[in-house]
Amino acid sequence: MKVWYGLVFNLILAALVISGAVFFKTRAEERGVSLLVARDSRSGKKYGSWTLPEGGEFSIEFIHSVNQTPVRDTFKIEKKRIWPVAARFSSFGAGMQTALEEEQAFSREGDFLVITGFTQSYRELNYIVGTVSDHILWIRDEPVSLRDLCGKNAHVRFRVEGGFAGKGGAL
């Protein structure tokens, strides 16, 4: 009989935990807080996650493998999608955008060229972490080395996986 009570107690406890998680997720979504998650694109292993408000921005910075100059891609989170905001780079060359789409514009920031006006959103972003140069995730002006977090040559997928109740931070 004790086993039966223990089983019932554990089932009730599990139901309360699950319903609480659903409640907190729903409340976070109402407040416009999203969870950006980095996972191994092959195995699904979670490398890290960060909370961002609706419209919150993050960037990925790296040294371009062909022309060996810095590139910084900035994105924002809206409606559980990833929207490009700006691509910032220092020189044209192989693998760099040279023609603008209809809504896009070029500008200069010191020695850098900046493309803005992107209109397409993404469910996920995929990067391969550099073996020679690191990829840096910039989130709330804090750098996160993807080489340290994921390892060299890691295939990393960034995706908005839902909301989280709490202040922004790594989980």
pLDDT of residue 21: 47
User: Given pLDDT bands bounded at 50, 70 and 90, which one contains residue 129?
Assistant: very high
Of the candidate ranges 21-25, 70-74, 80-84, 148-152, the one whose mean pLDDT is the lowest: 21-25
Cα radius of gyration (the chain)? 20
* Whether the predicted pLDDT of 23 surpasses 90: no
pTM reported for the whole predicted model: 0.73
* Whether the predicted pLDDT of 8 surpasses 90: no
Q: By C-alpha distance, which of 171, 161, 154 is closest to 41?
A: 154
pLDDT digits (tens, 9 = 90+) for 97-119: 566 778 877 788 888 888 888 88
Helix, strand, coil percent content, the chain, rounded in steps of 5: 20, 45, 35
Residue 139 neighbours by CB distance under 10 Å:
20
**Burial of residue 164, with CB atoms counted within 10 A of its CB: 0-12 exposed, 13-18 middle, 19 or more buried:** buried
**pLDDT higher at 30 or 116:** 116
How far apart CA 84 and CA 61 sit, in angstroms, is 13
**pLDDT higher at 2 or 154:** 154
Instruction: Kindly write down the DSSP assignment for every residue of 17-70, as one continuous string.
Output: HHHHHHHHHHHHHHTTEEEEEEEETTT--EEEEEEEETT-EEEEEEE-TTT--E
pLDDT of residue 131: 84
pLDDT digits (tens, 9 = 90+) for 47-89: 999 999 999 999 999 886 667 678 889 999 999 999 999 888 8
